[in-house]
Amino acid sequence: MSGPDGPCGLVLGASGPNSVGWTLAEALRAEGAAVAVTTRPGRVDSLTTAAAAAGFAGLWGVDAGQPPTLDACLDDLSRRWGRLDFLVHTWMHVPEGVLAKPLTAVTRGDFDAAMGPGVFGLIDAVARALPLLEASERARVLTFSSACRANMTPNYHVAGMAKAALSGAVLYLAQELGPKGIACNALSFSFLATGGAERVVGEQAAQATVAHLAKKAPLRGGTSMQAVARAGVWLACHVEGMTAEIVELDGGFSRRYF
């Protein structure tokens, strides 16, 4: 079996053309990588045509809470490629209405719903993909964090805690995977008003956040979907000698004091 001549990998959680995962997958394709993507099972039919037009190597319906769906995807990629040079985790889920509650009103179910795909989802995906990552000569794992992991942010409590725990997972995965030659890093970027983000925090709050970042960041803006995608390509395909890092991409906002 012979895999692609160039890099090949999997992006978990490309929910649609207006998502960070999908935009990164497109940027990886433009870089010459073979890219497989996953989306929620219920979205496969509506995204099949767009995935083919984007040149993706395949679109799988994978639910972070149903491991057999991920195993089926990885088994297929094992037969086709025999390795993964990059694994990108973008899973994040917060039930509707949870962030509008006070933290003290959040239920155990609400909390677990955020921590499951957002934190354990990365650990579980790496564990299941490990044989394919080990078969690569330059494997890299990438996930997405947020400055809200370490800063009090209105209407973001459970999501912020999930990002904090995810950043801890990156640290310990990097420690464990490093001797195998596998790097593990995270990209932390300022708020993007994607469809998913607007559903979670509300359209008005989303636009107000973007405006605040544009006013306060030293570069007078947070970032863009395209900038995130370019940074993601670098971390997934090009960076060398770096692991256990959380790379900030927010126009300098997180370095401000006043």
pLDDT in tens, 195-234: 666 665 667 777 777 788 878 888 887 788 999 999 999 9
Amino acid at 121: G
Query: From CA 253, how far away is CA 217, in angstroms rounded?
Result: 4
Q: CA 124 → CA 70, 71, 91, 178, 180, distances in Å? A: 10, 11, 12, 17, 17
C-alpha 84: how far from chain center: 16
The tokens of 46 are what?
A: 């509506």
Domains and CATH numbers, the chain: 8-252 (3.40.50.720)
| Crossing angle (nearest 10°) for helices 121-134 and 67-80 | 20
Total-model pTM: 0.94
Contacts with 52 (C-beta within 8 Å, 6 or more apart), sequence order: none
pLDDT (tens digit per residue) in 124-176: 999 999 999 999 999 999 999 998 899 898 889 999 999 999 999 999 999 99
